[in-house]
Amino acid sequence: MSTCATVSRSLDEPVSGTAATATTWLLLEQPGPWGVKALTSSHLDRALGRALEAAADDTGVRIALIRRPGRHADPGTPAERQVYAAHTVPGKVWLRGTTTRDPGKLLDLDYAALGAGDHRTFDTVLGGRADETGPLALVCTNGKRDRCCALLGRPLAAELTASGVPGVWEVTHLGGHRFAPTVLVLPYGYSYGRAEAHTVKEVLHGVQEGRIVVQGCRGNSAWGRPGQAAELAVRTAAGEYAADTLSVVRTDGGTPRWEVTVAHADGRRWRVIVAQGASLPPRPESCGASALGAPARMDVVAVRELHAAAPAC
| Range with top average pLDDT, 8-17, 31-40, 160-169 | 160-169
Average of pLDDT values for 178-188?
95
Average of pLDDT values for 224-242?
98
User: For residues 194 and 3, what is the distance between their CA atoms, to the nearest angstrom?
Assistant: 13
Helix (H) or strand (E) run with residue 162 in it: helix 154-162
Q: Which residues contact 185 (CB under 8 A, 6 or more apart)?
A: 135, 136, 137, 138, 191, 192, 200, 203, 204, 207
Residues 36-88: tens digit of each pLDDT: 888 998 999 999 999 999 999 999 999 999 999 987 656 666 789 999 999 99
Are 259 and 243 in contact by the 8 Å Cβ rule? The answer is: no
pLDDT on residue 79? 80
Query: Which of 169, 99, 93, 170 minimizes the C-alpha distance to 129?
Result: 99
pLDDT on residue 74? 65
Average of pLDDT values for 109-118?
98
Q: Which residues contact 73 (CB under 8 A, 6 or more apart)?
A: 32
Note if the pTM is more than 0.75.
Answer: yes
81-87 vs 24-29, strand pairing mode: antiparallel
81-87 vs 94-100, strand pairing mode: antiparallel
Quick check: 288 pLDDT over 90?
Answer: no
User: For residues 158 and 150, what is the distance between their CA atoms, to the nearest angstrom?
Assistant: 11
CA distances from 225 to 24, 115, 186, 254 (A): 16, 18, 18, 11
pLDDT on residue 75? 64
Angle between helices 197-208 and 154-162 (to 10 degrees): 60
User: For residues 71 and 88, what is the distance between their CA atoms, to the nearest angstrom?
Assistant: 30
Mean pLDDT, rounded, of the chain: 93
Average of pLDDT values for 193-209?
96
Residues across the chain: 313
